[in-house]
Structure 1
Amino acid sequence: MLKTPESRERWLFWLVALLVLGAGLGLRDPWPADEPRFALVARQMVESGQWLFPMRGDELYSDKPPLFMWLQGLALLLTGHLRIAFLLPTLLASLGTLWLLRDLGARMFSREAGAYSAWALLFTFAFTFQARRAQIDPLLVFWTTLSAYGLLRHLVRGPDWRMWMLGWFAAGLGVITKGVGVVALLVLVPAAFAHLRGWKGIGEAGWRSPRAWLGPLALLVPVLLWAVPMLSVVQASGDPALHGYANDLLLRQTAQRYTDPWHHRQPFWYYLVVIATQWL
């Protein structure tokens, strides 16, 4: 088990990762501003048995899609302790992101490249800071990384149509996590350029294959599994609150965020400062 340097490094990495990301699990209550609302929405789902429409007290909570709160609620059902449950999805998602990075680096370059990249990410301030909080962003990062993982394994090390579908399916899960889960699909742009330029080993999986259309269909699966029951209940209901929930979540909180966001506007140099400080 620990006979080779590679195995010792691997065990050391996961031990350090668990200590860095998981220390204090179950020892604190949710902290404002976002953690209490997510945790209380999840607890209300478990207590009421109504999971389709997130509720914050007696009002519908339409700021975010429900997947993260569903996972918190599931963790609460499994553990029975809110102090553990509200942080568990973020912890598992962050560990999953580290595993994906190690494995993808090893497959595309070398075992050392995968290990170095995972160590670097583990001690990147922005990643570790968010991974220790009950925020949606680490779960979104996991789905985005999983999407890129599947797409790259198909495009660069393929053809692997199962990985192709996995990449699109993960993007769909990202959509019902925070709306912007399709960002990993942008990897298709340089891949298409490389394919058109005839670069060897890039995009040789067959862009014109009919199976390529399975990808977009896989993206729609998780979205429709959530949206169709939700919209069916909304359409059958005369409750204006439910109609307002659907309009706010699908149009304002999702579509409008893509085209005309009303906050988080920053000048271009703001991101240079973020890269120079929080990406260290």
Structure 2
Amino acid sequence: MYFIKPTDPNPITPAKAVLLGALILIWVFTGLVGHDPWKPDEAQGFGVVYSMLQSGDWLVPTLVGEPYMDKPPLYYWTAALSASLFEPLLPLHDGARLASALYVGLTLLFIGLAGRKLYGENRGWAAAVILIGCVGMMVRAHQMVTDLPLLAGCAMMLYGFSLSQERSLRAGLLIGTSVGIGFMSKGFIAPVLFMLIAAMLPALFQQWRGRRYVSSLAIAALFALPWLTVWPLLLYQHSPRLFADWAWAHNIGRWVDYAEHGPTVDSFYYLKNLPWLAWPALPLAAWAVWQSRHRLAQRDDLQLPLVAFGVMFVTLSFVPNIKEVFALPMLLPLTLLATASLSSLKRGAANALDWFGLMTFALLAIALWWGWAGLLLDNHAKITLWLKDYQPGFEPSFEALPFWIAVAATVLWLVMVWRVGRSMRRAVTNWAAGITLTWVLAMTLWLPWLDSGKSYRHMVASLKQAMPQHYHCVGYDYVGEGPRAMLHYFGGIVTREDRKERCDLRLIQGNRLSKPLLDETRWKKIWEGSRKGDKGEHYRLYRRIP
């Protein structure tokens, strides 16, 4: 890189490295086990993993025995292998969720390497810590979602681009592999991002117009080719219809249809929600760009993340069915820009962010402890009554192990924020520590309460008990993919589309106020229920009258 990296006046000692490593490991692994697949994305994703394990078909993703061609199967493969590996020790869903730790770990590794390459020897830890401190990462990084391999691929891609002007072979290998990982997890979005970033860098900045950069891109194309062709070719050979369903109906066709209708209100989703999803990286990144606004033509260490963010922001704002989880790749270039700001951040601003984080998470920790104690002791406070009403039927109980883990996490947080030395990294480190404490408390003290409202286990058990001992099949109307997957996993209940009404049982999803949708002279309602506290999803099971 052409920009001369400043020396760090506060180098990371081995003791600090151990402390930061422990913080990252606690953040990564907390919340991966100990709860059921949660609505909506986890239930749906694990349903594909479970069907893969049940059927033994690893080529065609299926959900309850039906082809599920929304996404390529890389994450499902990884989660199925992880579930099989840990099956003697963990339930299948917990073992599958550990696959997320692999991809999140790769994300932190490569964003750290990119930060170190772009900004100096000690900036790798800072980049990883800033990323885990982003609010948008806290929940999604611990779920079974296919966006995590894409996130790891994007981090690898940024690191590859940072090497592309110096080491063509290594850069090409990394970029090509990253495109392949992204493609095999989320489809065509990864190649699109790669091509746009690769084209925009030399179009906007002269430093990226060298031979080594072009060589890196050519090598990347070669390494990406097997990832882009092997599984699609095998799928096409297996079933041209399923190939067309995946490539067109669930990917290209959606984009074409969306482009025909033009931008919608959802196109401004990230403009409104990114400030909190990317906090505190976004204001730090904005400061880095603003402070160097007159020198961007010379700052190729800023050019890469700035162009990457612009490409991701525009491209992801115009994808169909926008969700907040789709914003995860945008956090990576913002994290790199925030890392760049640490060498120029004013001490007053750093102290302000530090104190804001300390006060925020101290108050939040107090609230979490107080709310948990109120539920446990049933103190009849308004917030306690609201919490009980939100999860009706939940019975709190004291569990020693989660309690002592929460106590240890709180004490360690107090020690860490007290012992972190004075430096520009202090604010982001304390923020990441506060995020980690919040997550640990949520996944220990509050996990039973959360699981009670997000799991389908009790609903499926109730439905299973009401079903007749002998029946031909179960048809369904308006039942989502996640509930169908959990019916299969928890109850062994296989639901199928039944347009000709040949099944003797029929499950219908609606709301509590909806009128029966079946002819009551031909069908008899034998069960009605929903998940605890869920007022939006209500289910009715009918049996055909002989």
| Distance (whole Å) between structure 1 residues aligned to residue 45 and residue 59 of structure 2 | 15
Cα distance, 1:45–1:117 mapped onto 2, change above 3 Å: same
| Distance (whole Å) between structure 1 residues aligned to residue 48 and residue 267 of structure 2 | 35
1:72·1:85 contact (CA, 8 Å) conserved in 2?
yes
Residues 103-160 of structure 1: CA deviation (Å, up to 9, x unaligned) = 11112211333222221111101122210111111221111111221122123xx133
Cα-Cα RMSD: 2.5
Letter in 2 for 1:214: I
1:171·1:185 contact (CA, 8 Å) conserved in 2?
no
**Structure with greater strand percent:** 2
2:114·2:158 contact (CA, 8 Å) conserved in 1?
no
Cα distance, 1:185–1:151 mapped onto 2, change above 3 Å: farther
1:234·1:246 contact (CA, 8 Å) conserved in 2?
yes
Equivalent position of 1:232 in the other structure: 237
| Distance (whole Å) between structure 2 residues aligned to residue 22 and residue 37 of structure 1 | 22
| Distance (whole Å) between structure 1 residues aligned to residue 112 and residue 218 of structure 2 | 29
Query: What secondary structure is seen at the aligned counterpart in 2 of 1:111?
Result: coil
Query: What secondary structure is seen at the aligned counterpart in 1 of 2:212?
Result: coil
What are the residue-to-residue correspondences of 1:133-212 with 2, within 5 Å? 133-155=143-165, 158-179=166-187, 180-182=189-191, 183-193=193-203, 197=206, 199=207, 202-206=208-212, 212=217
| Distance (whole Å) between structure 1 residues aligned to residue 212 and residue 138 of structure 2 | 38
Equivalent position of 1:125 in the other structure: 135
| Distance (whole Å) between structure 2 residues aligned to residue 254 and residue 270 of structure 1 | 21
30, 40, 52: which one pairs with 1:33? 40
| Distance (whole Å) between structure 1 residues aligned to residue 15 and residue 254 of structure 2 | 45
Query: What secondary structure is seen at the aligned counterpart in 2 of 1:74?
Result: helix
Query: What secondary structure is seen at the aligned counterpart in 2 of 1:52?
Result: coil
TM-score when normalising by structure 1:
0.84
Query: What secondary structure is seen at the aligned counterpart in 2 of 1:250?
Result: helix
238, 243, 247: which one pairs with 2:244? 247
Letter in 2 for 1:233: H
| Distance (whole Å) between structure 1 residues aligned to residue 277 and residue 204 of structure 2 | 32
Residue 187 of structure 1 deviates from its aligned partner by 2.6
Residue 213 of structure 1 deviates from its aligned partner by 3.0
How many corresponding residue pairs? Answer: 262
Q: Which runs of 5+ in 1 are unaligned?
A: 236-242
Residue 207 of structure 1 deviates from its aligned partner by 5.2
What are the residue-to-residue correspondences of 1:32-181 with 2, within 5 Å? 32-80=39-87, 81=90, 82-155=92-165, 158-179=166-187, 180-181=189-190
Residue 51 of structure 1 deviates from its aligned partner by 0.6
Residues 214-253 of structure 1: CA deviation (Å, up to 9, x unaligned) = 3223222112121111111114xxxxxxx1x322211121
1:26·1:84 contact (CA, 8 Å) conserved in 2?
yes
Deviates more, 1:246-255 or 1:182-191: 182-191
Residue 178 of structure 1 deviates from its aligned partner by 0.6
Cα distance, 1:228–1:270 mapped onto 2, change above 3 Å: closer
TM-score when normalising by structure 2:
0.45
Residue 28 of structure 1 deviates from its aligned partner by 0.8
Residues 241-266 of structure 1: CA deviation (Å, up to 9, x unaligned) = xx1x3222111212134433399954
Cα distance, 1:268–1:45 mapped onto 2, change above 3 Å: closer
Percent identity, aligned pairs only, is 22
The ranges of structure 1 where at least 4 consecutive aligned residues each deviate by more than 6 angstroms after the TM superposition are none
**Structure with greater helix percent:** 1
Letter in 1 for 2:137: F
